[in-house]
C-alpha cells in the first residue's frame, strides 16, 4: 500500500468529488483553514473511541442523531438547544430501559456536506428547462436555484467551519450545566401520550417509564449536591459525513504526545453509502486518521466489501475504531443484513454495529414530498435486532434523522401525520426527519423492545 498523508486521497478516483473551478482560491482557503484552532481535541476523540469500544461489547448504547443536512442558517440558539434537548430526552428513556450509559453523538456542528444521487438539477421555468449543479450542502454551494448560488465556492469551507465552531461553543456551554431541568420528564412535551392512536396498554407503559424516570432522578438529586452537579453535566459528541475531503484534510493534524493524525473537525466522521469504494479517495483519506470512523452499509454491500472495509480502516483491530452503520430498508433488511453479520462474526473482527433505519426507507408520498413512515423505521429497527440475536452479534446503537422542532416530514406515529399533512411544516434542507414527538415516541418503543429482550435473556 502506498504511503498515506493528509492529501494522498488526491491521487485516487473519487465519488461525489467536489472540484472547485478556481484552484488558487481553493489553496488560499485551505491554507487559512489549516491555521485555525481545532473544533475538537484528540483526548475527546480517544474518550469517545473508548466509549464505542464499550458499546461494541454491549456495555454502552449509542444514540446518534440530528438533521439530514444542517444549514448555516440553523446556527441559532433556540434551534441548537431543541436539538440537544430531544437527544438528551431520548437518551434518558434509553438509559432507563438498557440500564447502560448512553453515548450521545449529534449530527451537528459540521453536517453541512451532502452526497447527491444526481449531479445536476433541472427545473422548468418560463424560459424553458434550466439545468444547474445540484445543491451539495452549505459547505459546498447554496440552495438557491441560480447559477451564483449553485457554483462550488471554497470560501464556504471557512464560513462552514466558523458556524460549526459557534454551534459547538454553544453546545459546550449547554452541556456544562445548562440542561439541569431538562432531565425531568415534567419538562417534556408528552402530549402524544393522549393521542387516540396510542393503545391504552402502551399509554400506561409509557406513563410508568416516565414516572420511574422522574423518581430515579429525584432520588439521585436527593443523594447530595455532588449528584446534582454531576447530573446536570452532559457528555456529548459530534459527527458528520466526511464528504468534502478538502475540508477534512485541512484540519487533520499530528498532535503532541500521540501517534498518528487526528481529524479535528469532528469526533466521529462517517463515510456515506455512495463513497465507500475500497480503492477510492474517501477510504484512502479515512484509513490514515486516528478517529473512530463510521461507514454506512446499504443493501448492495457484500461480505467482501465489509471485510475489505475492516482491513482498510482498522487493520490493527483497535477497539472502538470502526462503526458499521447498516441502512438496508425494511424490505431488504431480513435478507441483506444476516450474511454481513455472520461473516464479520466468523472473522472475529471487532466492530460496533449501529442501525440507521432512515435512509433505506425513503419514499415519495402521493403529495410529492419525500417522506418516511414511522412504522417502516420502527420495523427496520426491530428486524435488525432480530438479525443480531440470530447471528450472535450485538446491536450497539441507533442513528436517526430527527429534529427537536414540530415539523411534518415523516408520516405516522401517535402524532398520526398523514401524506396530506406533510405540507403543513415540511422544513428539511434534505431528507425527512422525525419530529420531536415522533423521535421521543421512537425512543419509548425502542426502549420497550430492549427491555423485553433483556427479560428474555
Q: For residue 21, what is the DSSP state? A: S
Least CB distance to ligand PEP at residue 292 (A)? 16
DSSP-assigned states of every residue in 108-119: -SS------S-S
- 214/277 with CB nearer ligand PEP: 277
Cell digits of residue 31:
491554507
Q: Measuring CA to CA, which residue among 109, 129, 90, 240 is closest to residue 172?
A: 109
Least CB distance to Co ion at residue 428 (A)? 9
Contacts of 8 (CB under 8 A, 6+ apart): 2, 284, 285, 288
To which residue does cell 440500564 refer? 99
- 54/138 with CB nearer ligand PEP: 138
- 115/133 with CB nearer Co ion: 115
Dist. CA 19–CA 281, nearest whole Å: 13
Least CB distance to ligand PEP at residue 171 (A)? 20
- 321/359 with CB nearer ligand PEP: 359
Q: Are strands 363-364 and 370-371 parallel, antiparallel or unpaired?
A: antiparallel
- 266/447 with CB nearer ligand PEP: 266
Helix (H, G, I), strand (E, B) or coil at 297: strand
296's contact among Co ion, ligand PEP, none, with CB below 5 to 8 A by partner kind, is ligand PEP
Residue 88: Cβ within 10 Å count: 20
Contacts of 177 (CB under 8 A, 6+ apart): 229, 232, 233
433's contact among ligand PEP, Co ion, none, with CB below 5 to 8 A by partner kind, is none
Q: How many CA atoms lie within 13 A of 46 on its CB side?
A: 9
- 183/399 with CB nearer ligand PEP: 399
Dist. CA 189–CA 97, nearest whole Å: 20
115's contact among Co ion, ligand PEP, none, with CB below 5 to 8 A by partner kind, is ligand PEP
- 16/29 with CB nearer ligand PEP: 16
327's contact among ligand PEP, Co ion, none, with CB below 5 to 8 A by partner kind, is ligand PEP
Least CB distance to ligand PEP at residue 296 (A)? 4
Least CB distance to ligand PEP at residue 396 (A)? 18
Q: What angle do CA 158, 43, 244 make, to 5 degrees?
A: 30
60's contact among ligand PEP, Co ion, none, with CB below 5 to 8 A by partner kind, is none
Least CB distance to Co ion at residue 330 (A)? 16
Residue nearest to ligand PEP (CB): 272
83's contact among Co ion, ligand PEP, none, with CB below 5 to 8 A by partner kind, is none
- 71/314 with CB nearer Co ion: 71
329's contact among Co ion, ligand PEP, none, with CB below 5 to 8 A by partner kind, is none
Q: Measuring CA to CA, which residue among 65, 45, 60 is closest to residue 398?
A: 65
280's contact among ligand PEP, Co ion, none, with CB below 5 to 8 A by partner kind, is none
Least CB distance to Co ion at residue 107 (A)? 9
Least CB distance to Co ion at residue 442 (A)? 16
Per the CB < 8 A criterion, the answer to whether 188 and 437 are in contact is no
- 341/439 with CB nearer Co ion: 439
- 171/271 with CB nearer ligand PEP: 271
Helix (H, G, I), strand (E, B) or coil at 54: helix
Least CB distance to Co ion at residue 187 (A)? 29
Mark out the alpha helices in 281-409 (DSSP H runs): 281-286, 303-313, 333-347, 374-391
30's contact among Co ion, ligand PEP, none, with CB below 5 to 8 A by partner kind, is none
273's contact among Co ion, ligand PEP, none, with CB below 5 to 8 A by partner kind, is ligand PEP
Per the CB < 8 A criterion, the answer to whether 5 and 289 are in contact is no
Per the CB < 8 A criterion, the answer to whether 107 and 402 are in contact is no
Site for Co ion, rule CB under 5 A: 68, 431
Dist. CA 225–CA 328, nearest whole Å: 46
Least CB distance to Co ion at residue 79 (A)? 18
Tell me how far CA of residue 181 lies from CA of 206, 221, 240, 249, 428, in angstroms. Answer: 20, 12, 28, 39, 29
Site for ligand PEP, rule CB under 6 A: 68, 115, 241, 272-274, 296, 327, 359
Amino acid at each position: 500500500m502506498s504511503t498515506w498523508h493528509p492529501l494522498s486521497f488526491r491521487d485516487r478516483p473519487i465519488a461525489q468529488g467536489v472540484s472547485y473551478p478556481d484552484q488558487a482560491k481553493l489553496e488560499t482557503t485551505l491554507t487559512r483553514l489549516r491555521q485555525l484552532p481545532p473544533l475538537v481535541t484528540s483526548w475527546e476523540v480517544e474518550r469517545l473511541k473508548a466509549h464505542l469500544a464499550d458499546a461494541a461489547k454491549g456495555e454502552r448504547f449509542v444514540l446518534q442523531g440530528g438533521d439530514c443536512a444542517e444549514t448555516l442558517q440553523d446556527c441559532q440558539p433556540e434551534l441548537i438547544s431543541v436539538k440537544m434537548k430531544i437527544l438528551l430526552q431520548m437518551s434518558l428513556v434509553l438509559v432507563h430501559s438498557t440500564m447502560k450509559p448512553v453515548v450521545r453523538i449529534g449530527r451537528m456542528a459540521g453536517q453541512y456536506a451532502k452526497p447527491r444521487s444526481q449531479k445536476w438539477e433541472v427545473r422548468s421555468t418560463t424560459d424553458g428547462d434550466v439545468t444547474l449543479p445540484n445543491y451539495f450542502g452549505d459547505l459546498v454551494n447554496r440552495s438557491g436555484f441560480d447559477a451564483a448560488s449553485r457554483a462550488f465556492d471554497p470560501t464556504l469551507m471557512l464560513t462552514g467551519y466558523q458556524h460549526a465552531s459557534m454551534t459547538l461553543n454553544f453546545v459546550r456551554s449547554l452541556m456544562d450545566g445548562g440542561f439541569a431541568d431538562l432531565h425531568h420528564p415534567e419538562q417534556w412535551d408528552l402530549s402524544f401520550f393522549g393521542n387516540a392512536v396510542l393503545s391504552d396498554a402502551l399509554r400506561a407503559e409509557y406513563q410508568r417509564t416516565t414516572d420511574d424516570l422522574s423518581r430515579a432522578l429525584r432520588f439521585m438529586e436527593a443523594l447530595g449536591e455532588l449528584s446534582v452537579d454531576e447530573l446536570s453535566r452532559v457528555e456529548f459528541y459530534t459527527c458528520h459525513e466526511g464528504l468534502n475531503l478538502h475540508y477534512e484534510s485541512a484540519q487533520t493534524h499530528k498532535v503532541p504526545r500521540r501517534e498518528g493524525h487526528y481529524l479535528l473537525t469532528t469526533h466521529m466522521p462517517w463515510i456515506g453509502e455512495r463513497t465507500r469504494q475500497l480503492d477510492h479517495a474517501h477510504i484512502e483519506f479515512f484509513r490514515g486518521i486516528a478517529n473512530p470512523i463510521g461507514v454506512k452499509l446499504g443493501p448492495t454491500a457484500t461480505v467482501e466489501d465489509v471485510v475489505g472495509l475492516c482491513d482498510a480502516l482498522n487493520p490493527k483491530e483497535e477497539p472502538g475504531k470502526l462503526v458499521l452503520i447498516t441502512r438496508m430498508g425494511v424490505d431488504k433488511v431480513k435478507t441483506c443484513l444476516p450474511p454481513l453479520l455472520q461473516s464479520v462474526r466468523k472473522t472475529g473482527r471487532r466492530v460496533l454495529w449501529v442501525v440507521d433505519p432512515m435512509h433505506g426507507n425513503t419514499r415519495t408520498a402521493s403529495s410529492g414530498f419525500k417522506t418516511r413512515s414511522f412504522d417502516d423505521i420502527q420495523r427496520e429497527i426491530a428486524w435488525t435486532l432480530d438479525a443480531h440475536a440470530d447471528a450472535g452479534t450485538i446491536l450497539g446503537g441507533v442513528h436517526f434523522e430527527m429534529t427537536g422542532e414540530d415539523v411534518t416530514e415523516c408520516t405516522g406515529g401517535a402524532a398520526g401525520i398523514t401524506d396530506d399533512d406533510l405540507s403543513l411544516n415540511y422544513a428539511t434542507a434534505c431528507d425527512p426527519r422525525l419530529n420531536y414527538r415522533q423521535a421521543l415516541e421512537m425512543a419509548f418503543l425502542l426502549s420497550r423492545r430492549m427491555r423485553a429482550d433483556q427479560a428474555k435473556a
